[in-house]
Structure 1
Amino acid sequence: MTDLLSFLGAAFFLVFGVHRLTITRGSRADPAQRYVSGFALCMGPALLLNSPTVTGGLAADPALDTAVMFVSHSLKLSGLAFLALVAYALKSPAAGRTALRRQARLAGAALAASLLLFLAAQPHTRGDELSVPDGHRWALAAFSALFALYGAWCLLVLARELAGHAARTAPGLLRTGLRLMMLAAAFGAAWTAWALDDVLGDLRAGHQGVGEDMVSSLLGAITALLATGGATATLWGGPLGAPVRWLRAYRRYRALEPLWSALHRELPQIALDPSAAERRPGLRRAEFALYRRVIEIRDGHLALRPYFDADVDRWTAGAAEDGRPRQAVLEAATIAAALENKRAGRRHSAQGARTAGAAPQPPAAVAATVAAETAWLLEVTAAFTGSPAVADVRRRVRRAAAGPGGTAAAPDPRT
C-alpha cells in the first residue's frame, strides 16, 4: 500500500510537471507556472526514490543507498524552495529581482547547510534505516529539523499569498483552484512537519527510516492530488466539468421539487412537457430540466395572482426567522396562501391581488440569470417547507376559508 501511494504521488507530480513545463515554454510565460513545474519535477522523483521498492533494492549497497537518500532529501528541499518562489511571483505588486535573488540565496544556503550537516553526521544505512555513530546524533537531528522548519516557512509564505489572491478573486473556477492550492499547501505543511518525528528518534537512538512511511506517503499523495486539482481547476468548465455541472443541476432540480409539486397539483397546466412532468431526468439532461422547472415555478406564481392574499405581508411582518431572508419567507407565504385560497375557490379582488403580488419580489441583487433565479427559488422552497411563519399563514387561510363556525378542509400533507 505504501508503494502504491508513493508511485501514485510521484506519477501525479511528474505528469503535471512535464505538462505545465510544456505549455509554459517561452519568454512570456508566467513565472509562477514555471516555478510550479519546478516544484512538481522535484517532488515526483523524490517520492519515487523514497518508495519502499527503491530503498529495498538499494539496501545491498549502503554507500549508494545513503547517497540516494540525500539526493531525495535535496530534491524535496529544492521543491519547497520553488514553492516560495511561486509565492513571490504571486505578490501584488510582483516581487522584484532583488527579492527573488534573496530567496534563491536562502534556498542555496539551506541546501549547503543540509549537505554539511549530513556529512557531519557520518550516516550509514543498514537495511531500511539510516544510522549515525554516537556523538553525531545532533547533526542528524539538525539535518531533519532544518528540512522541516525551512519547508514549513516556504509553505507558510505560499499559503499567505494564496489566501490573499482567493479573497480578491470572484467566485468561480479560479477561486476554487486557489482554495485547492491552499489545501495542498496545508497538507504539504503537515507532510513536511512529519519530519520532526525523525528529530526525536535521531536524538534518542541516532537512526531514522530511509523510506517513506504510511503517513508520509499518504500526505504526499493527497498533496499531489490537491495541487494538481488546484492548478487545473480552470479546465473544469469544459468537458471535464460537465459531470459536476450535471450533478449540481440534478441536486437543485430535486431540491425545488416540494415547491414545484405543490404548484403542479393545483395547476397541472404549468408543466411545459406533461409527459415528462413526473419523470426523473437523466444526469445529462439535468441542466435543461432545471431550466424548465424554474420556468414552470414562475408560471405557477403568475397563475396564482388572483388568489394572492393582501394580509400575508402583515401576518409575516413580526415573524423571527433564523437565517432566512425576509423576502424569501414572504414569497413562500404568499404562494402557500394562494394555494389554500385556490383549493377553497376564494379569489381576491383585482386590487387586492395587485397589492399582494407586488410585495414578495426577489432582491434587486438577483440577476436575470438561470443560476441566480435558481438560487432565489431554492431559498423560497426552503421557506415554503420549513418556515414556521409560512406554516402559520397556511393555518390562518384555512380557518378563513372554513368561515365562522365552519370546519376547514383537511390540510394537504404534501404542502
Structure 2
Amino acid sequence: MSDLAAYLGAAVLVALAAWAFAVEVRGGRHPIRWAGLAFALLEGCSLALLAPGTVGLGHTGVDGLSLIALGDTVRTAALSFLMLLACLLNPRPARRRSPSGQAAVAVSVQVVMVLLFVAARPTLSADGNLVADSHGRWPLAARVALFAAYAVWALVELFIAMLPQARLAPTGPLRWSVRLILAAVCVGVVWSLWSYDDIIQVLRHGWLDGSEDTASNILGAICATLVVAGTLVGKWSVAFHATVRWVRLCRCYLVMGPLWSALHQAMPQIGFPGGGRPLLAGRPAGIEFALYRRVIEILDGRLVLRAYQHPAVTAWLAHAPPDAALVEAATIATALENMRQGRRFTGSRESGATVATAAGDAGDVGDVGLAPTDLDAEVLWLSRVAWAFRRSPLIPELLERLRAEEG
C-alpha cells in the first residue's frame, strides 16, 4: 500500500510536469509556470526515490544510503522551487524576495542538510532504517527538524500568496483551481508536520525510517492529486466554458426543432440548401452556424405568416398570465392553421407589434445563459417561443376555437 501510494503520487506529478513542459515549449516561457513545473518534477522524483520499494533495493547492490541522501536532496530542491513560486505569486511586492536571496537560502539549507547527514554517520539496517549511534542522534534529529521547518515555511508562504486569488479569480473554474491548490498546500503542511514524530523516535531509539512511512506516502499521493486537479481545472477553464456554451447552443437548437419543423413543413422555401450534421461535429462553430441558420429560417417563415395571423389572438389570451412568448407562439400556430385553410387577414399588424416589443425584452428573460449579443438575444427569445409552441396547453384550445369560429 505504501509503495503504491508513493509511486502513484510520483507518476501523477511527473506526468503533470511533462505535460506542463510540452505546453511551455509551445507557448513561451513564464517564470511562475517554470517554477511550478520544476517543483512538480522534483517532488515526483523524490517520492519515487524515497519509496520503500526503492530504498529496499539495497539488497541488490544499490547503495541505500546514497538513495536516501539523493531523495532528500531532490525533495529539498523541490521546496526551494516552491518557495520561489510563492514569492513570484505574492501580490505584495514588499514580501517578495530577490532571486539571489532565494538561491542563497536554498543552497544554505542543502549544505546544512548534507553536513548534518555526514555528522550523524548513519548506517542502513536490513529493513531499510537509518540507524545512528548516541553521538549521531542529535544531528539526525536536527536534519529532520530543519527539513520539516523549511517545508512548512515554504507552504505557508505559498498559502499566503495564493489566498487572495481564491476570491479575486475572474471565473468559477479558476477559483476552484486556486481552492484545490490551497487544499493541497494544507495537506502538504500536515505531511510536513508528520515528520516531527521522527525526531522523537531518533532521540529515543536512535533509528529513523529511511523511506517514507505509509501515512506520509498517502498524504503525498493526496497532495499530488489535488495539485494536478487544481492545475487541470485552471488550464481547462477555457475548454470548460466552450463546452458549456456548446451544450447550451445544442439545447436551444433542439428546443427550436418543433417550431422550425412546423414552419418548414408549411413553407419548404424558407430552408437553405445543404444541411450537414452540425450537432455531431462537436465544434462550437458548427452548432453556432446551424443554430443561427435555424433562427433565420424561422424569422423568414414568420414574415411569410404575417398575412395569415389572426388579429384577435391577443384578446383570446387575455385571461391567461401575461407571457409575450406565449402570444407569439399562439400567433404562429393560428397563422399556420389559417395558411392551411387559405384564410388571410391583410392589414393586421397587431401581433407583429407584440413580437417587436417582446423581442426587445428577450435578453432579460429565459435561463439559457448565452452571451448578451443581439443574435443570442434572438436565440433566447425564439427558444422561449418554441417551448410555448410545443408545451403550452392553451395553443390546442385556441386552434379548436379558431376552427369552430370559421366553421
Q: 1:393 to 1:54 in 2, by over 3 A?
A: closer
The structure 2 residue matched to 1:95, chosen from 89, 93, 96, is 93
1:81 CA drift (Å): 0.6
Match of 2:372 in 1: 366
Distance 1:264 1:398 in 2: 18
1:191 CA drift (Å): 4.5
Q: Work out whether residues 255 and 378 of structure 1, in 8 Å CA contact, stay in contact via their aligned partners in 2.
A: no
Q: TM-score, normalised by structure 1?
A: 0.64
Distance 2:318 2:147 in 1: 68
Larger radius of gyration: 2
The structure 2 residue matched to 1:64, chosen from 66, 69, 90, is 66
Q: TM-score, normalised by structure 2?
A: 0.65
Match of 2:211 in 1: 210
Match of 1:150 in 2: 153
Distance 1:22 1:405 in 2: 67
Provide Cα deviations, 1:222-253, integer angstroms capped at 9, x if missing partner: 524653774x669x7xxxx7x996x6676345
Match of 2:189 in 1: 193
1:215 CA drift (Å): 4.8
Residues 334-373 of structure 1: pairs in structure 2 closer than 5 A: 334-342=327-335, 344-345=337-338, 350-361=348-359, 362-363=362-363, 366-368=372-374, 372=376
Q: 1:391 to 1:304 in 2, by over 3 A?
A: closer
Q: 1:83 to 1:130 in 2, by over 3 A?
A: farther
Q: Percent of aligned positions with the same letter in both sequences?
A: 14
Residues 259-338 of structure 1: pairs in structure 2 closer than 5 A: 259-268=255-264, 269=268, 270-273=270-273, 281-283=279-281, 287-301=285-299, 303-304=301-302, 306=306, 307=309, 309-310=313-314, 315-317=320-322, 330=323, 332-338=325-331
Partner amino acid, structure 2, of 1:291? F
Provide Cα deviations, 1:80-129, integer angstroms capped at 9, x if missing partner: 112112213xx3xx726974369738954993798399659886654455
1:35 CA drift (Å): 3.7
RMSD: 5.0
1:223 aligns with 2:227: yes
Distance 1:392 1:313 in 2: 20
Match of 2:169 in 1: 166
Match of 1:12 in 2: 16
Q: 1:64 to 1:405 in 2, by over 3 A?
A: closer
1:398 CA drift (Å): 3.6
Distance 1:20 1:350 in 2: 64
Match of 1:324 in 2: none
Partner amino acid, structure 2, of 1:6? A
Q: 1:354 to 1:45 in 2, by over 3 A?
A: same
Corresponding residue SS for 2:98: helix
Provide Cα deviations, 1:26-75, integer angstroms capped at 9, x if missing partner: xxx75435544554554354344345554333575343243123213312
Residues 75-154 of structure 1: pairs in structure 2 closer than 5 A: 75-88=77-90, 91=91, 95=93, 99-100=97-98, 104=102, 108=106, 111=109, 115=113, 125-126=124-125, 127-129=127-129, 139=142, 142-143=145-146, 145-154=148-157
Provide Cα deviations, 1:116-149, integer angstroms capped at 9, x if missing partner: 9965988665445557789869757745642552
Aligned residues: 362
Q: Work out whether residues 36 and 86 of structure 1, in 8 Å CA contact, stay in contact via their aligned partners in 2.
A: no
Q: Work out whether residues 155 and 189 of structure 2, in 8 Å CA contact, stay in contact via their aligned partners in 1.
A: yes
Distance 1:285 1:101 in 2: 44
Distance 1:209 1:80 in 2: 24
1:198 CA drift (Å): 2.5
Q: Work out whether residues 46 and 74 of structure 2, in 8 Å CA contact, stay in contact via their aligned partners in 1.
A: yes
Consecutive unaligned residues of structure 2, counting only runs of 5 or more, are 203-207, 365-370
Distance 2:402 2:24 in 1: 76
Consecutive unaligned residues of structure 1, counting only runs of 5 or more, are 318-329, 408-415
- Decide which structure has greater helix share: 2
1:256 CA drift (Å): 2.2
